[in-house]
Structure formats: C-alpha cells, structure tokens
Structure 1
Amino acid sequence: MRTVRNWFQDTTGGLPRTFWYLWAGTLVNRLGSFVIVFLAIYLTAERGFSEFQAGVVLGLWGAGGAVGTLTGGTLADRWGRRPTLLTAHLGAATMMLALGFARELWLVGLGALLLGMFAEAARPAFGAMMVDVVPERDRLRAFTLNYWAINLGFACAAILAGLAAEANYLLLFVVDATTTVTTALIIFFKVRETRRVRAEPATGPAAPHRGGLGSALRDRVFVGFVGLNILMALVFMQHISMLPIAMGQDGLSPATYGSVIAVNGVLIVAGQLFVPRLIRGRSRSGVLALAALIVGVGFGLTAFADAAWFYVLTVLIWTLGEMLNSPSNSTLIAELSPAALRGRYQGLFSLSWSVATFAAPIAGGFVREQFGNAALWLGCAALGGVVAVAHLLSGPVRERRVRELRTVDAVPAGRGGVAAPAPAVEAAPTRPSATANV
C-alpha cells in the first residue's frame, strides 16, 4: 500500500494548482467530444449527404483547424493566453450549435470550417500556458497526466456519444457545446493570464527567435523537428483512414473495428501514468527514436493481419510507441520554444497534425490503390525506421539548442536586455484549457 501511495505522490505531487485547473478543463472538454466521433456518420446517415460531400465537410474542418492553430499561436503571444482561450472556446461552442442546426450543404461546410478554426485555436494557447506554469523539472509528468486525461475523456466520450446518437443526433452538438462552455467558465473563474512580456537580446542564441511566426519558420532546428512529427503523424493517422478499410476487406464489421481501436485508449489510460518513471533520465532523442521504431513495427505488422486478434496485437504494439512518443515530444517542444514565442511555436507544431490529418488519407489511399495493402503498411514500417534514424542524428543539435535557450532564460534583468523569468505560478487560479471539443 505504501508503494502505491509513493507512486501516486511521485506521479501527481508538487504540481501547481493552475495545472490541475488546466487538467480538469482537458478532462471536461474531452468527455464531451462527441461530434468528431460521429460527424461522418451524422452527415451521411442523418443528413443524407454523399460520402464525397461528407469528406469535403471534414476537409473544411481540417482546413479551418490549420488556420486556427497558426492564428491561435500568434494571438497567445500577442494578445495573451487567457483571452485567446476564452474566445476560442466560446466561439467553438457557438459554431457547434450552428453546425447542429445547419441544413444546407454550404452552411454545414461553413460551420465546419469556422468550428475547426475556433476549436484548434485553443491548442497552442493551452500548450503555451502549460509550459508557463509548470517548472521544467515537472513538465514530463504534467504532459503525461494531461495526455492521460485526454484519452480517458475521449474513451468515455465514444461510449456516451453512441448513446446520445440513439436518442437524437442534435443532442451530440448540444452536449458538446455545453462542455466547451463549461471549460470556458473554468478558465474565466479559475485561471489568470500567465504570459510574461520579455525583451529579447539583439544577439546571441535567441536572436533568431525575435519577431512573429516567420521567426519560428526560420528556426531550422525546430522546423526539422516539426517535419519529423509530420512523417510520424502520417503513419499514425492511418488508424482512422486506411485501417477500417483494411479490416472491412478482411470481412470484419465496423463494430469490430471500434472494439479493436478502443484498445488504444484503454491501454493508454491503464499504462500512461507509469511512462514518466520509465523514461526519466534517458536520452529524449533515443526515446523518440525507439517510439518511432515501435510505431513503425506495429503498423507494419498490419500487412499480415487477417483476424481481429491480430489487429488487436498491432494496435497494442503501436500504442506502446505512441505512449513513449507523446510526453517526450511535449517536453521537447516546450524546451525548444523561446519564452516570448511559445504560442507561435505551439501553433506551428499543432499545424503538423493538421497537415497529417489532411494528407494521410490521400497518401494512404493512393499507395493502397496503386501498390496494394501490404505496400502501404510495410511503407509505414519503413517510414518509422527513417524517422527513428533521423531522431538519433538530429538529437545532439536539438539538445544544444535547448542548452542555449536555457542560458538565455537564465540571464537576469539588466544583462543583455532580458528580463529574469518570474517563478512558476503556483497559487492563484490560472485557466484550464484543452482544445475545444469537437
């Protein structure tokens, strides 16, 4: 019993109250993330749109998300984390209801575009705030706990969404909007602004990071890291694009696919809290390389799967890689982001997922149609291997950049024009923001 208590204290103890407000907002948001689970089914089964029309609507949602991540990141740095989050959540809740009541295709498409924009605008502001309030030594634990909340909420949402859809599809939009507003209320009442205005030196390792989004795009170290994430995300996103098609061609029902993919969320909820102790003190680039390799192997084995149990095995394998990848990714993003540009950097990284969400089904469908099912999955394995090698090769450069940024952040006020960083906010309420649920 004492061992369990010690583990719980090591995992959750010592984190700022602000973080727990953010964590609660994440959980509430994800518990209500109904619409994204059933949007394609709603558009085709309930609204009578064709599969192509439904695909266009989903594509507009992704396009809006790409705009939202970049806009949200810029606003988080210039306007502030708190007002960006409040605007994003309230805007998303409004567009959620508008989408639920829209009937004409062009209105549905416009609603999806604006919903994606508002919903995804919260991501970089939330990530920047998490970095603002959690000390560097605790960020791995904090991002792991937040990732756990995301998966717990989403797993429950999938079940609840099914029940709500049986009653009334409009209920999906109403509940989703309600939980988004609830998150906004937590932000409004319990979270305060965490952005600190800092002056950047004219020279030195942080010099390339002055200015706007263009500064982040000119940061070759960070852009290279984002590029590797796009490649990994292209592999990972096949689980919601080509995997159900492959399982269907093996004679497995959509319900079986749902059960198989649920293994991903269950495993993450059950095991993610143990990951920080497993990877603590290890090379981040080594962990990311191992994660890419495991994800590649898991998806590669799909080429040989022909039964539900085999598909479950592949999901178990790539989920283990995902569990290693996520917290390591999050902490490295935080340390590669100059303090004055955290929102923009978070926005640029979030954009990598939007790009993959758009490109993965197109690329996967093309490869599968032209070269066959096995080529797609073995190609995923090869891509995982390429990313693993790239992480090992680029790791030293990234770690050198991290050390440079730490040196800049440590310069006290009056030296080099950089204000000394204030201590991490622990006390007063700071806001919970997860991405607005969709």
Structure 2
Amino acid sequence: MRTVRGWFRDTTGGLPRTFWYLWTGTLINRLGSFVLIFLAIYLTQARDFSAAQAGLVIGLWGVGGAVGTTVGGTLADRWGRRPTLLTAHLGAATMMLALGFARPLWTVAVGALLLGMFAEAARPAFGAMMVDVVPERDRLRAFSLNYWAINLGFACAAVLAGLAAEAGYLLLFVVDAVTTLATALIIFVRVGETRRAPTTGAVKGATGGPPRAGALRTIAADRVFLGFVVLNLFGALVFLQHISMLPIAMGDAGLSPATYGSVIALNGVLIVAGQLFVPRLIRGRSRSHVLALASVVMGIGFGLTAFADAAWFFGLTVLIWTLGEMLNSPSNATLIAELSPAELRGRYQGVFSLSWQVAGAVAPVLGGVVREHVGNGTLWLGCAAIGAATAVAHLLSGPARERRASQLTRPTAPTVPVTAVQPPPPQSAEAAATAPAEPVPARTPA
C-alpha cells in the first residue's frame, strides 16, 4: 500500500493548480466527445451517404481544422491563450448543434468544415498554456496525465455514444455541445491568462542571435522541426483510419454501431490502465528508437485489420495499435516541447497540430478512395507499409533532432508575465525555452 501511495504521489504530486483545471476540462470534454467517434456511421447509415461522401465530409472537418490550428496558434501568441480557448469552445458548441440539424450534403459539409475550424483552434492555445504553467521537469508526467484524461473520457464516450446512437443520433450532437460548453465555463471561471510577453532580449533567436524577422519565415527555415512534422503527418494518416474507415469496415462485416463503440473503447481502456506507467518505462531511452518502435507496432495493428472478420479480431487489432499509440504520445510531446522557441510557442504548436489536420482532411478521403477502388485489404496493408517506412525515417532523423533540441534548451533571457489571474510557478530559463506538443491528438478537442 505504501508503494502504491508513493507511486501515486510521484505521478500526480507537485503540479500547478491551473494544470488540474485544464485536466478537468479535458476529462469533461472527452466524456461527451460523441460526434467524431460515430460521424462516419452517422453519415452512412442515418444520412445514407456513400463511403466516399462520408470521407469527403470528414475530410472537410480536417480542412477546417487546418485553418483553425493555424489561426489558433497565431491568436494564442498575439491575443492570448484564454480568449482563444473561450472563443474556440463557444464556436464549436454552436456548430455542433448546427451540424446535428443539417440534412442536405452541402449543409453537412459546411457544418463539418466550420466545426473542425473552431474545435481545432483550441488545440495550440491549450498546448501552449500547458507548457506555460508546468515546469520543464514535470512536463513528461503532465502530458501523460492529460493524455490519460483524454482516453478515460474517450473510453467512456465510445460506449455511451453507442447506446445514445440507438436512442437517436441527434442526442450525440447535443451531449457533445453541452460538455464543450462545460469546459468553456471551467476556463472562464478558474483559468487565468498565462501568456508571457518576451522582454527585449527574449525576442532574439533561441541561441542569442538577432531578432526574428517573422514567425512563419522562422518556422519555414527550421528544417529539423518541419521534418518531424512530416513524419507525424504520415503516422496520423494511418492512425486516423480508426475514425473513418474502421467503422465502415466493421459495418460491412455485419457489426452494429454499438459493437464498434465497444471495440474502439478498448483503445481508451488500455491507455487508462497503462499510460501512467509508460513515462517510467521509456525514461532514459532514445526517443527516436521509441518513436520508431511505436510506428512499427501501430502499422502491424492496422495492417491486421485486413484479415479481421469478427468483433474479437477487430478488438485485437485495436489493442495492438493502441500499444504503439501509448509509446508515441509522451515522446512526441516532450520532443516538440524542446524543438520550439519560447516566443513562438503557440505558432509552433499550431504548425505541429496542422499535420494532424492535414491528415484529418486527407486520411478519410484517401481511405475511402482506396477502399472503393482497390479493396479493403490493400488499404490496411498499405497502413502497415507506411508504419514501417516512418520507423526507418525516425531512426535516420533522430540524431539531428536531438542536436536541435539541445541547442534550444540552452539558457535564454527571462520572460515577464503580461497578465495572469493565477500566475504560473517560476520557471527556469531552460524551461521557458521549450514548447509543447499535443499528445496524439487523434481525437480533436471540441
């Protein structure tokens, strides 16, 4: 018992109060994240759209998300984290209800586009705020705890959504909107602004060079960072098939929406049961090796879907690629944090999130086309091939990433807070020079 208490204290102790408010908002939001889980089934069964049309609508969600993360990252740095989060959540709740009442294809498509834009605009601001308030030494476990909350909510939502779908699909949209508003309320009441304005010295380059001419120019010249974003894009193209083509494949196998909800809930259950042990397991190991292993395991899991024909088999594939997801998330989060200059934290977060949104736009469309014209088996075996190729690329590019991260974590000039209702704890100059990454955000925050 004493050992369990010690582990719990080491895992959760010492984190700022603002982090726990954000954590609570994440959990509530994910408990109601019904729509994206069942959107493909809703479009093909309730609205009678084809697989290609459903892929197009989900793809437009991704297009909107790409715009949202780009704008959200800029607003998080210029306007502030808190107003960006509030605006994004209120807009997402409104569009969630609008999408639930939309009927013609074009109205559904426009609704998905706008919903993706508002929902994903929250991602860069949320990630930047996490790093604002959590010291560098605690970020690995903070990211893991937040990812744990995401998947605890996701596991419950997947099961509840399957039951709610039996009562009526409109209920999915209503519950999702209500939990999104609840998250906005927590941020409005309990979370203050955490953005820090750079001092005169802090606007210089991370290694003390001349002032930056422009944020986008700086990011465009950062080849190491962009290379990592591209690798994440390929991983996301594989991973996001679980919310677009997997439910359609299970439906073709004669399985009900409730069965899909139960099978996909295994993803969240496994992460809830084991994710908090992962940081200790991978601490001190090469992040490139961990990311390569994660890519291989995820590729195997999705590749085996080509042979699945029963609920237990689909469940087995979910468990396998979930193991890869669990390895990928904390390594991704800490690495992006170290690759991002402090004064461009929101923008770097937005560009990294953009890889997920591009994948969100391309994955369902590409998956639908491949599945209809080449075959279901080719789609899933292609996912395995992409996983293997991504693993090799991680091994080759790893040393350059670590050198870049080491350069950016050298001490820089201190920063001063602009406003903070609840100021973050003092950070070292080294911690101020890092930036976050979303844990596998396959599941978009609404």
- TM-score, with length taken from structure 1: 0.87
The letter of the residue matching 1:411 is T
* 1:69–1:121 contact (8 Å) kept in structure 2: yes
- Is structure 2 residue 284 aligned with structure 1 residue 285? no
Is 1:343 matched up with 2:346?
Answer: yes
Q: Partner residue of 2:367?
A: 364
Indicate yes or no: 2:320 matched with 1:313.
no
- Residue deviations 1:126-160 (CA, integer Å, cap 9, x gap): 01111111111111111111111111112212233
Contact map agreement 2:296 2:387 (CA 8 A) in 1? yes
Secondary structure of the corresponding residue to residue 409 of structure 2: helix
> Contact 1:122–1:436 (CA<8 Å) still a contact in 2?
no
Q: Which residue of 2 aligns with 1:411?
A: 412
Show CA shifts across 1:256-314 (max 9, x none): 44433222121111111111111112221121111112112222333444444333332
Give, in whole Å, the separation in 2 of the partners of 1:303 and 1:108. 30
Which runs of 5 or more residues in structure 1 are unaligned? 414-418, 428-432
Aligned counterpart in structure 2 of residue 266 of structure 1, from 260, 264, 269: 269
- CA distance in 1 between counterparts of 2:108 and 2:249 reads 30
Superposition pairs of residues 69-80 of structure 1, within 5 angstroms: 69-80=69-80
1:181 partner amino acid: L
Report the alpha carbon displacement of residue 171 of structure 1 after superposing the two structures with TM: 3.2
| Corresponding residue of 2:429 | none
Is 1:153 aligned with 2:156?
Answer: no
How many angstroms apart in 2 are the aligned matches of 1:209 and 1:401?
17
**Structure 1 residues 173 and 189: CA distance shift in structure 2, 3 A:** same
TM-aligned CA distance change 1:220 to 1:314, over 3 Å: same
Q: Deviations over 1:320-374 (max 9, x none)?
A: 1110001110111111111111111111111111111222233334445565544
> C-alpha distance in 1, partners of 2:55/2:102?
17
Q: Does 1:182 align with 2:185?
A: no
Match of 1:397 in 2: 400
Q: After the TM superposition, which of the residue ranges 96-105 and 351-360 deviates more from structure 2?
A: 96-105
Aligned residues: 426
Quote the Cα distance in structure 2 between the aligned partners of 1:318 and 1:71: 32
- Equivalent in 290, 296, 299 of residue 299 of structure 2: 296
Residue type at the aligned position of 1:401: R
Of 227, 238, 243, the residue aligned with 2:241 is: 238
Worse overlay, 147-156 or 374-383 = 374-383
- Per the alignment, in what secondary structure is the counterpart of residue 320 of structure 2? helix
- Determine if contact 2:51/2:368 at 8 Å carries over to the other structure: no
Q: Show the counterpart of 1:4.
A: 4
Q: Secondary structure at the match of 2:193?
A: coil
Secondary structure (helix, strand or coil) at the match of 1:197 reads strand
- 1:113-124 alignment runs, 5 A limit: 113-124=113-124
Structure 1, 346-355 or 101-110: larger mean CA deviation: 101-110
Give the 5 Å matches for 1:186-205: 186-198=186-198, 199-201=202-204, 204=207
Of 385-394 and 317-326, the range deviating more from structure 2: 385-394
Deviates more, 1:293-302 or 1:350-359: 293-302
**Could you tell me the TM-score, scaled by structure 2's length?**
0.86
- Alignment partners' CA distance in 1, 2:115 and 2:247: 26
Name the residue aligned to 1:64: 64
Kept in 2: contact 1:209–1:338 (CA 8 A): no
**Residues 81 and 195 in structure 1, CA contact (< 8 A), matched pair in contact too:** yes
